[in-house]
């Protein structure tokens, strides 16, 4: 151990902080965002939820879908995109939605929300890191399976498929951040997230087609960006591109983001009032 | 700018529970000066964690004020966070899959440390706590002591003028605990103010300048360590074992109090509390034991643990409202 003396503390009298230019603030926020994203990705290595949803699920769904009847190239693309979306959504929504749950498990939640750096930027950064990790795993598995099964995938609008996937990532990040707030408000967030898992899957059309839902519930999928992205991507595959579903998906993503921003700040205040934050 | 590092005035906190409310803190007043280490003592449920959480801005007070260098924890939490470092005992609070350096980098970012010069700062912090060699190993492979030293490095990374330490030596072996105490003592030498919560009275004895005792949410005593040691009313316990007739101590012998006398099969054991070690008390002990058949004598200096047990027993009997009785 070094014999050097502990460094002198920063002066408490330096009450007035150095004023930062808007450029400095943006650079600082970008660094915070990227550091949070990178930390989250490393912390998630080997996470069983990602391995099952991003690794196992696409393989299982693709094998089941194409082995029963060999599809044509147009139909194969549709199946691949549907499987990829299902896996992406299942994987990312729970990895990004579980960001604060994991922080609570690690005992780092209080540090993340009561630090000097903006807790909102940290939440979005971590949610983005978790989403990218899930997306990377899902895309790699899906593409690998397509190659192994030698599926004749042909896409009419590959650029717009890529755009749709970017919207999936951003949308999952913002919705995940919104859902994460649950873990600030209650120590029973894990139980709540487990209870919400299947309702979200059913309403999102992952387990059942939306038209199977009772009439009084059919409005619910309209609130999920996944529903609109699915519609947009189906058009992009078949050549019947429509920008209305893409616009609605983008709008919903913005709404999730704004809601997450305000809900998160409100949740931190509530958590400080109720005393649900613990250091470890 | 306030001269006190930590100022707590009439601080109160209640928690709503089903069927009523629990008072965790009521009207607590305390102060930690610049460069001072204050030990916070109290039994489980006394309010130590609640007070620490309020100072760390994790919890809002129900009444009263708490300030760090004049910045109110409720009105100005961000500025307060710049001025504090928090170190907790235990295994949690780290990313176990990440290595030590990456953990430190992330927490440095949380503490508002900028990118410029960060690498050098991380190296210096790791070197300071002796973790340079293992900085690139995953934290899940660290021993408890190494994790605790990493916690200390994290708490100090922004070089805060105030440190809140909660059970920093819990679960450490004696060598690791002593190493950590040296690091904490170094904080004071560097001018940092420290609020130290610990159940290990040895930590308080070695490190603290002053002791605040919380009981049932109230500050029951606030004394310097030297005064605290006097609260028990004695400085050592002398245990004498002998055979035959035990010695008799006159009631007027003010230097000694008989704590216990047990006899069995012609052998006896006498425990005496020594109020103050002096030439007179040695002389008195010698004369009282003269002519008695002594088999052995054992002298145990008073430990802070004994003082705290004594004070805690008084508080339990009288309640914090009678705290004046334990004030010096």
Q: What is the pLDDT of residues B281-303, one digit of tens each?
A: 777 788 778 788 888 888 887 77
Residues of chain A with C-beta less than 8 angstroms from the C-beta of B68: 12
Q: How many domains does chain A have?
A: 1
Place of tokens 């088999």: B295
Q: Is A58 within the bounds of a domain?
A: yes
CB of B227 within 8 Å of a chain A CB? The answer is no
Q: What are phi and psi of B4, to 5 degrees?
A: -85, 140
pLDDT at res. B293: 87
Which long-range contacts does B19-27 make (Cβ < 8 Å, 24+ apart)?
A: B23/B217, B24/B50, B24/B217, B25/B50, B25/B51, B25/B54, B25/B61, B25/B217, B25/B218, B26/B217, B26/B218, B27/B64, B27/B218
Residues of chain A with C-beta less than 8 angstroms from the C-beta of B162: 9, 12
Query: What share of chain A has pLDDT > 70, as a percent?
Result: 86
* Chain-chain contact of A107 with B92 (C-beta, under 8 angstroms): yes
Give contacts of B 93-122 with A, CB under 8 A: 93-98, 102, 105-107, 109-112, 114-115
| Alpha-carbon gap, residue B25 to A97, rounded angstroms | 35
* Chain-chain contact of A6 with B186 (C-beta, under 8 angstroms): yes
Q: Is A133 within the bounds of a domain?
A: yes
Question: Which domain range does residue A47 map to?
Answer: 31-272
pLDDT in tens, A22-52: 888 888 899 999 999 999 988 888 888 788 8
Q: Is A13 within the bounds of a domain?
A: no
pLDDT at res. B180: 82
Residue, of B164 and B202, whose pLDDT is higher = B164
| Alpha-carbon gap, residue A101 to A129, rounded angstroms | 15
pLDDT at res. A255: 95
CB of B15 within 8 Å of a chain A CB? The answer is yes
pLDDT at res. B250: 66
CB of A278 within 8 Å of a chain B CB? The answer is yes
- Tell me the range of A60-69, A247-256, B33-42 where mean pLDDT is highest: A247-256
Q: Where are the beta strands (DSSP E) in chain B?
A: 4-17, 20-33, 37-41, 63-68, 71-72, 84-88, 162-166, 193-197, 210-215, 218-224, 236-243, 256-264, 267-274, 293-301
Residue, of B40 and B305, whose pLDDT is higher = B40
- Cβ-nearest to B81 among A6, A9, A114: A114
Asked whether the beta carbons of B108 and A36 are under 8 A apart, the reply is: no
pLDDT at res. B54: 93
Domains of chain B: 4-230 (3.40.50.300), 236-301 (3.30.70.260)
B327: confidence class by pLDDT, cuts 50, 70, 90: very low
- Cβ-nearest to B1 among A15, A106, A272: A15
**The pLDDT of residue B257 is above 90:** no
Picking from B16, B109, B126, B183 by the largest number of A CB atoms within 10 A of its own CB, the best residue to mutate is B109
Q: Is A277 within the bounds of a domain?
A: no
pLDDT at res. B253: 60
pLDDT at res. A279: 60
| Alpha-carbon gap, residue B99 to B138, rounded angstroms | 4
pLDDT at res. B328: 35
Mark B232-267 as b/e (b = at least 16 C-beta within 10 Å).
Answer: bebbbbbebebeeebbebeeebebbeeeeeeeeeee
pLDDT in tens, B90-145: 778 899 999 999 999 999 999 888 888 899 999 999 998 889 999 999 999 998 88
Q: Is A267 within the bounds of a domain?
A: yes
Mean pLDDT of chain B: 84
| Alpha-carbon gap, residue B186 to A9, rounded angstroms | 12
Mark A170-207 as b/e (b = at least 16 C-beta within 10 Å).
Answer: bbbbbbbbbbbbbbbbeeebeeebeeeeeebbbbbbbe
Q: Is A8 within the bounds of a domain?
A: no
pLDDT at res. A248: 94
CB of B261 within 8 Å of a chain A CB? The answer is no
Q: Annotate B87-140 with DSSP letters as a single string.
A: EE-SS-SS-TTSBHHHHHHHHHHHTT--STTHHHHHHHHHHHTT-GGGTTSBGG
* Chain-chain contact of A278 with B78 (C-beta, under 8 angstroms): no
Minimal CA separation from B203 to chain A, in Å: 19
Q: Is A9 within the bounds of a domain?
A: no
CB of B19 within 8 Å of a chain A CB? The answer is no
Whole-model pTM?
0.79
Picking from A12, A27, A273 by the largest number of B CB atoms within 10 A of its own CB, the best residue to mutate is A12
pLDDT in tens, B170-193: 877 888 888 888 888 888 888 899
Adjacent-strand bridge partners of B219? B214
Q: Is A155 within the bounds of a domain?
A: yes
| Alpha-carbon gap, residue B112 to B225, rounded angstroms | 35
* Chain-chain contact of A6 with B60 (C-beta, under 8 angstroms): no
Give contacts of A 85-114 with B, CB under 8 A: 106-108, 110-112, 114
pLDDT in tens, A135-175: 888 889 998 998 888 888 777 788 888 898 889 888 888 88
Q: What letter does residue B42 receive in the DSSP assignment?
A: -
**The pLDDT of residue A6 is above 50:** no
Adjacent-strand bridge partners of B162? B84, B193
B274: confidence class by pLDDT, cuts 50, 70, 90: confident
Picking from A7, A271, A278 by the largest number of B CB atoms within 10 A of its own CB, the best residue to mutate is A7
CA distances from B213 to A20, A82, B15, B53, B294 (A): 43, 64, 21, 17, 40
3 state DSSP class of A257: helix
CB of B18 within 8 Å of a chain A CB? The answer is no
The nearest alpha carbon in chain B to A32 belongs to B109
Asked whether the beta carbons of B103 and B150 are under 8 A apart, the reply is: yes
B255: confidence class by pLDDT, cuts 50, 70, 90: confident
């Amino acid at each position: 151990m070094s014999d050097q003396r502990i460094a002198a503390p920063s002066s408490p009298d330096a009450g007035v902080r150095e004023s930062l230019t808007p450029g400095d603030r943006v650079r600082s926020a970008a660094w915070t965002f990227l550091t949070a994203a990178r930390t989250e990705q490393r912390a998630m290595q080997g996470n069983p939820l990602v391995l099952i949803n991003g690794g196992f699920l696409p393989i299982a769904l693709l094998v089941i879908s194409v082995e029963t009847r060999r599809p044509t190239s147009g139909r194969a693309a549709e199946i691949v995109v549907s499987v990829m979306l299902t896996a992406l959504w299942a994987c990312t929504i729970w990895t990004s939605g579980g960001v604060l749950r994991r922080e609570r498990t690690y005992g780092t939640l209080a540090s993340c929300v009561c630090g000097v750096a903006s807790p909102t930027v940290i939440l979005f950064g971590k949610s983005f890191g978790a989403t990218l990790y899930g997306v990377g795993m899902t895309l790699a598995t899906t593409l690998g399976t397509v190659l192994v099964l030698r599926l004749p995938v042909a896409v009419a609008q590959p650029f717009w498929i890529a755009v749709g996937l970017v919207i999936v990532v951003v949308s999952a990040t913002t919705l995940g951040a919104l859902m994460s707030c649950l873990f600030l408000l209650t120590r029973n967030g894990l139980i709540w997230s487990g209870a919400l898992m299947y309702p979200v899957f059913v309403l999102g059309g992952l387990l059942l087609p939306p038209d199977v839902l009772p009439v009084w519930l059919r409005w619910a999928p309209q609130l999920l960006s996944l529903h609109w992205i699915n519609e947009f991507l189906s058009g992009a595959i078949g050549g019947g591109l429509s920008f209305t579903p893409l616009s609605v998906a983008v709008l919903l993503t913005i709404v999730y983001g704004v809601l997450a921003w305000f809900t998160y700040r409100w949740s931190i205040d509530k958590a400080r009032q109720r005393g649900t934050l613990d250091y470890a | 700018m306030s001269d006190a590092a930590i100022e707590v005035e009439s601080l109160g906190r209640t928690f709503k529970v089903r069927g009523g409310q629990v008072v965790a803190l009521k009207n607590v007043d305390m102060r930690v000066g610049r460069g001072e280490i204050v030990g916070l003592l109290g039994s489980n449920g006394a309010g130590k964690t609640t007070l620490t959480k309020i100072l760390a801005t994790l919890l809002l007070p129900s009444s009263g004020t708490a300030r760090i260098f004049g910045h109110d924890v409720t009105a100005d939490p961000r500025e307060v966070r710049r001025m504090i470092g928090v170190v907790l005992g235990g295994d949690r609070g780290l990313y176990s899959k990440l290595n030590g350096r990456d953990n430190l980098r992330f927490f440095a970012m949380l503490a508002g440390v900028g990118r410029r010069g960060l690498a050098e700062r991380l190296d210096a912090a790791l070197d300071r706590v002796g973790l340079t060699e293992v900085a690139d190993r995953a934290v899940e492979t660290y021993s408890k002591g190494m994790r605790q030293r990493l916690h200390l490095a994290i708490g100090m990374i922004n070089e805060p003028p105030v440190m809140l330490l909660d059970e920093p030596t819990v679960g450490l072996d004696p060598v690791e605990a002593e190493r950590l105490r040296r690091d904490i003592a170094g904080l004071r030498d560097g001018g940092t103010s420290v609020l130290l919560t610990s159940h290990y009275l040895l930590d308080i004895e070695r490190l603290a300048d002053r002791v605040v005792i919380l009981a049932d949410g109230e500050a029951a005593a606030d004394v310097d360590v030297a005064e605290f040691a006097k609260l028990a009313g004695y400085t050592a316990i002398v245990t004498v074992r002998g055979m035959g007739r035990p010695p008799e101590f006159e009631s007027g012998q003010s230097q000694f109090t008989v704590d216990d006398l047990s006899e069995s099969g012609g052998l006896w054991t006498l425990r005496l509390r020594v109020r103050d070690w002096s030439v007179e008390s040695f002389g008195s002990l010698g004369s009282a034991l003269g002519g008695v058949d002594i088999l052995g004598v054992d002298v145990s200096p008073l430990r802070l643990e004994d003082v705290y047990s004594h004070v805690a027993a008084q508080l339990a009997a009288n309640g914090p409202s009678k705290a004046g009785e334990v004030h010096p």
